[in-house]
Amino acid sequence: MPAGAEASREVLRSIISDRSRHLCVATRGDEVVGSAELIVVPNLTHRASPWAVIEDVIVDAAVRGGGAGTALLQHLATVARANGCYRSSSTPASSALTPIACIESLSGCSLACR
């Protein structure tokens, strides 16, 4: 359940100012239809290579199956590699979710990340 509006604004400001966090949204026109976040974690092993976790992948039910979620995950995997991460992981919020095995087309959506 989302926090109240003011608490949410404060958390969003904190996320955006944290350089280890990468928040990405998928839009269709002016409407946000999905979001996901990548967090880069410093690490002492693997030659001090960081690792990453992908969290809070959310796609509007009206556009699911159109590739927005896949595009978000693929983009965040690219961000993880660009940050030198030796691995990235994500834990499904539901056992009904299955691993993504292919890239789908992003029907009319675009991505914006910080």
Residue 47 lies in a domain: yes
Looking at the structure of the chain, the number of domains it has is 1
* Domain assignment present for 83: yes
Q: Is residue 44 part of a domain?
A: yes
Q: Which residue has the tokens 């292919």?
A: 102
Look at residue 112 and tell me if it is in a domain.
no
| Per-residue pLDDT tens digits for 58-72 | 999 999 999 999 999
Q: How far apart are CA 109 and CA 19, in angstroms?
A: 25
The reply to whether 56 falls in a domain is yes
Higher pLDDT, 43 or 104: 43
Q: What is the pLDDT of residue 90?
A: 83
What does the block give as tokens for 82?
């660009």
21 located within any domain? yes
The answer, as to whether pTM is greater than 0.85, is no
The dihedral sign for the CA sequence 112, 26, 58, 41? negative
**pLDDT digits over 24-52, tens only?**
999 999 999 999 999 999 999 999 999 99
Kindly report the CATH number assigned to the domain that includes residue 33: 3.40.630.30
Task: Please give the Cα distance from 73 to 79 (Å, whole number).
Answer: 10
Does any domain span residue 54? yes
What is the span of the domain harbouring residue 54? 14-94
Q: Tell me whether residue 30 is in a domain.
A: yes
